[in-house]
Chains A and B, each alone.
Chain A
Amino acid sequence: MTTKRDLVVQPAHDLGGLPAGPLVRSDHELTPFEKNCHALLNVLSRHKLVNTEEKRRGVEDLGAQIIGELTYYERWAVSASKVLNEKGVITSAELGAKMNEIRTRLREAA
């Protein structure tokens, strides 16, 4: 049985030795979104804006439910936004405004 302590100590990313089903040899070509996310996080790491450990920590801090529901690169995007916000590099307000601006641009272009 999973205790409340276990939820803290063995977060959703630490999988070694846990029960798991049969291996499925899955793979796919990265989508443009996934490539953009991967490249963005590499660039953020290069500039020490979000280093690799901060990105990982940001993903872990999303908690088991979000980790379970979001795809691999969706987690990266959310983690990056949260770490940048924490560090005061960007504010939630300016990020929200920029997201709205991008949506408007995309709808107009459609």
Chain B
Amino acid sequence: MTADPHAPIETAAAEPDYFDVLQQAIRELLVEKGLIEADEVRAMIETLDAHQPALGSALVARAWTDEAFKERLLADGTAAIEEFGIENYDGTKLIVLEQTPEEHNLVVCTLCSCYPRPVLGLPPDWYKSRPYRARAVREPRVLLKEFGTDVPEDVTIRVHDSNANMRYLVLPMRPAGTDGMTERELAGLVTRDTMIGVTTPRLP
């Protein structure tokens, strides 16, 4: 394994990393100038750590078991996640897209890496990669096959380019054979990738 260029600098034997010194210098200067609080960046890291895909999984499981909640989620995603207790810390607006037997939704950001962070955390590397961003809009069916997802020809694909202010969460279809499962067990079926639209939930 190659050395991590951004290993914690206080323990690194080599020269401090240029970019790590840069980010630290920006933070310290702005604190000295009274433009940000000394503790703010650390507190923001805690917020980032608290937002993981498990929040989205729990949200989907609730929608699968509570029809009225699902309706509210589809009508106004932003209000529904707040009702569910998820802090919308980045202030973005959420649109929830329902997978149906007729329609398969897929989310991409061709311009950068827009992602529903309050419900899914930070995006995986592949979501930010050139192959995903370039090809999702042009050949979604071929790309989905590379994820092992075969969308039949009679199912319409709706690709959503998350290119501006809205954020998108896919509400996957509840798999057959899960009638006896608890909400918690159902959440276990809802992986991050099913909520981006690149895979579909499966029974273990």
Q: Which residues of A contact B (CB under 8 A)?
A: 13-28, 30-40, 42-44, 47, 49, 56, 70, 72-74, 77-78, 80-81, 84, 89-90, 94-95, 98-99, 101-103, 106-107, 109-110
If A16-B138, A22-B131, A23-B147 touch, does A77 touch B29 (CB 8 Å cutoff)? no
A80 neighbours in B (Cβ, 8 Å): 23, 26
Q: Give the nearest-CB partner of A36 in chain B.
A: B23
List the 8 closest A-B pairs by CB distance, nearest first: A16-B110, A33-B6, A39-B44, A20-B134, A27-B124, A98-B25, A26-B125, A20-B131
Residue from the list B21, B44, B125, B131 in contact with A27, Cβ < 8 A: B125
Give the interface segment out of B11-19, B58-66, B69-77.
B11-19
**Is B21 a contact of A99 with CB atoms below 8 Å?**
yes
Residue from the list A70, A73, A95, A109 in contact with B26, Cβ < 8 A: A95
**Is A25 a contact of B26 with CB atoms below 8 Å?**
no
Residue from the list A22, A32, A43, A84 in contact with B146, Cβ < 8 A: A22
Q: How far is the CA of A42 from the CA of B131 in the complex (A)?
A: 27
Q: Is the interface of A mostly helix, strand, loop or mixed?
A: helix
**Besides the contacts A43-B44, A80-B23, what 16 more A-B pairs have beta carbons closer than 8 Å?**
A15-B110, A15-B133, A16-B110, A18-B130, A20-B131, A23-B126, A23-B146, A31-B6, A40-B27, A40-B44, A56-B112, A74-B19, A78-B19, A90-B26, A98-B28, A107-B16
**Is A98 a contact of B6 with CB atoms below 8 Å?**
no
**Is A13 a contact of B112 with CB atoms below 8 Å?**
yes
**Is A106 a contact of B110 with CB atoms below 8 Å?**
no
Number of A-B contacts (CB under 8 A): 158
Instruction: Answer yes or no: B181 CB below 8 A from chain A CBs.
Output: no
B98 neighbours in A (Cβ, 8 Å): none
Instruction: Answer yes or no: B156 CB below 8 A from chain A CBs.
Output: no
If A24-B131, A42-B90, A49-B30 touch, does A109 touch B10 (CB 8 Å cutoff)? yes
B40 neighbours in A (Cβ, 8 Å): 43
CB proximity of B191 to chain A, nearest CB, Å: 12
**Is A13 a contact of B111 with CB atoms below 8 Å?**
yes
**Is A103 a contact of B6 with CB atoms below 8 Å?**
no
Q: How far is the CA of A106 from the CA of B122 in the complex (A)?
A: 29
A77 neighbours in B (Cβ, 8 Å): 19, 22-23, 26
Q: How far is the CA of A68 from the CA of B9 in the complex (A)?
A: 24
